Amino acid sequence: MTTLLFYAASVLALLFVLVPHEFAHAAVAYANGDPTPKVNGRLTLNPIKHFDPIGFVMCALVGFGWARPVPIDTRNFKNYKVGLFTTAIAGVVTNYIIAFVFYPLRELSSGLQINYGTQLLYFFLDCVFTYNLTVAVFNLLPLYPLDGFRVLEALTKPWNRVRQFLGKYGRTILMALVLESFVCSVGARIFPVLSNFDILGYVMYFARNIIGWPIQALWGLII
């Protein structure tokens, strides 16, 4: 029953992770002068508009994933570099803010009397906190088509060789990392040693324990 509650909570939590992330991209791109997200119906918090089945399942199963990318046309930006950078970073910043807001709720829920309802609530709040951090860090990887690559585009010249390599092979590298992590996470249930080779698992650890530390430390002074 506990496992069922956890997966139910993780699916619900994704509404507070992937949807705000993509909406932030759309809103900031629109603010920078690009009407493309609005024209394509992406300037909304409607989860159906942002749904990507593979990214959704991956996030529910292993804690990182993606939604359907928001279409933008950088030619419409009032300032190309500023528009590209702020649009790329908007989703990550939004995820971090949500993690900050939900952390104290998570901590307060841990003190409630344990029953199925409070277990579901705790799992939900914990997933919102953890997934927002991991999705933020995951998206900062400089691999096409993640946000980190867009940040790299805003900060480098088109002929930069690193940028060209990551743009050409980023998707392949990303899929290999996702597959490797999935195999390790599933295989570790039978062969625990495989967890030591989960590359994206270390990204998740970094997100929660390093990137998440300022949030935990700040709220620790208050509650």
180 is catalytic: no
- Ramachandran category for residue 52: left, alpha or beta (phi over 0 → left; psi -120 to 50 → alpha): beta
First to last CA, the chain: 31
* Residues 6+ away with beta carbon under 8 Å from 87: 25, 28, 29, 32, 34, 72, 77, 150
Give the active site residue among 22, 107, 153, 180. 22
Q: What is the pLDDT along the chain (223 residues), one digit of tens a residue?
A: 677 888 888 888 988 998 999 999 999 999 999 999 999 999 999 988 888 887 777 666 665 667 788 999 999 999 999 999 999 999 999 999 999 999 999 998 887 777 877 888 999 999 999 999 998 998 999 999 899 999 999 999 989 999 999 999 999 998 898 888 888 888 888 888 888 888 888 888 898 889 999 999 999 888 7
Q: Give residue limits of the domains in the chain.
A: 2-220
